[in-house]
Amino acid sequence: MQAIKRILVVIDPSLNDQLALKRARLIAGVIEAELHLLVCEDRQDHMPTLEKLVAELKAEGVKASCSQSWHKNLTDTIVKAVQSQGSGLVVKQHLPDNAVKKALLTPDDWKLLRYCPTPVLLVKTEGSWMKGAVLAAVDLGNHDDQHHVLHDTIVSHAADLTEMINGDLHLVSAHPAPMLSASDPTYQLRENIHARYIEEADKYMTHYSLEADRLHIDEGPADSLIPAVAKKTGACVTVIGTVARKGISGALIGNTAEVILDTLDSDIVVLKPQDMIAHLEDLLEK
């Protein structure tokens, strides 16, 4: 998080309260990053409004710039701005998607999470982050190198946010139900599965000096457990990752992030492993 030097903030002119800008302002103030405000539209000139917001930020001592553009769709517009501005984080307000529309069309924010080569913070709440709980969601059952690196990145970013807001760091991981037919004996008994996940979590608990009550490991689907734990802990922000499946043909985002987007009662940060980011950047250059 500290390495981020420029943050792209998506401004929605139709909204009276720019929650994304408030969150980005908080982060920029701590890590001394520049803000670039972007309106994704070509129908009306919003530059006067943007320039006013930039002037207010500069008066507060925050470096800021702005632009308005449109390239075919919202995601392409944001991604092109990320590339041109050299942004290390995108901050955008998320509005609940209509269930019927979501069943027929891929929501814009899903597309953004799939194709954006940088971390994305989707802001859902207006409450203060200060002294709140930060929830790091990891899949401790995956042991390949890609997942290990992603887990480290998720918990590291969550720890950075926790320090930033003087909050409390929590860790959550869902494990599968026991199966007597499982080839690994560990996964035949619930107690053994739970113990394995506790063991995998130990390095994070030790490294970040977390007490036992900050670890939330339970049986069930992750898309149910994560929102439940976020609500239980009063999390102000949840940090989650995604690993690509086969290529980016469907840009398969570890779909938990998409599924929980509208059920989660917190803001959400979505991260990708480095090789997926590199693949996305290669695609964008073609």
* Separation of alpha carbons 106 and 123, rounded Å: 19
pLDDT at site 253: 41
Going by pLDDT thresholds of 50, 70 and 90, the confidence category of residue 181 is: low
Domain end position, chosen among 67, 93, 119: 93
Going by pLDDT thresholds of 50, 70 and 90, the confidence category of residue 102 is: low
Assign residue 45 the CATH number of its domain: 3.40.50.620
Verify that 87 and 149 share a domain, yes or no.
Answer: no
Verify that 69 and 202 share a domain, yes or no.
Answer: no
Which of 163-167, 172-176, 188-192, 224-228 shows the lowest per-residue confidence on average (mean pLDDT)? Answer: 188-192
Which of 65-69, 103-107, 185-189, 193-197 shows the lowest per-residue confidence on average (mean pLDDT)? Answer: 185-189
Is 106 part of any domain?
A: no
Q: Which two tokens stand for residue 269?
A: 């940060």
CA angle 47/121/207 to nearest 5° reads: 145
pLDDT tens digits, one per residue of 15-70: 989 999 999 999 999 999 999 999 999 999 999 999 999 999 999 999 999 999 99
Average pLDDT over residues 194-203: 92
Is 234 part of any domain?
A: yes
Verify that 152 and 89 share a domain, yes or no.
Answer: no
Phi-psi region of 93 (alpha: psi -120 to 50; beta: other; left: phi over 0): beta
pLDDT tens digits, one per residue of 232-249: 999 999 999 876 444 444
Assign residue 139 the CATH number of its domain: 3.40.50.12370
Note down the domain range covering 52.
6-93
Is 47 part of any domain?
A: yes
Domain end position, chosen among 61, 93, 125: 93
pLDDT at site 284: 47
Is 277 part of any domain?
A: yes
Going by pLDDT thresholds of 50, 70 and 90, the confidence category of residue 250 is: very low
Q: How many CB atoms lie under 10 A from the CB of residue 265?
A: 15
Q: What is the largest CA-CA distance in the chain?
A: 65
Verify that 143 and 73 share a domain, yes or no.
Answer: no
Q: Which amino acid is at 142?
A: N
pLDDT tens digits, one per residue of 124-160: 999 999 999 999 999 998 777 777 888 999 999 999 9
Is 67 part of any domain?
A: yes
Verify that 145 and 72 share a domain, yes or no.
Answer: no
Task: Please identify which residue in the block is written with the tokens 């800021």.
Answer: 64
Verify that 34 and 138 share a domain, yes or no.
Answer: no
Domain end position, chosen among 40, 62, 93: 93
More reliable by pLDDT, 98 or 76: 76
Is 245 part of any domain?
A: yes
Name the CA radius of gyration of the chain, rounded.
Answer: 19
Instruction: Please say whether the beta carbons of 121 and 238 come within 8 A.
Output: no
Going by pLDDT thresholds of 50, 70 and 90, the confidence category of residue 252 is: very low
Is 103 part of any domain?
A: no
Average pLDDT over residues 103-129: 89
Mean pLDDT score of the chain:
87
Verify that 278 and 141 share a domain, yes or no.
Answer: yes
Going by pLDDT thresholds of 50, 70 and 90, the confidence category of residue 3 is: confident
pLDDT at site 247: 44
Is 58 part of any domain?
A: yes
* Domains held by the chain: number: 2
pLDDT at site 121: 97
pLDDT at site 272: 84
The pTM score is 0.89
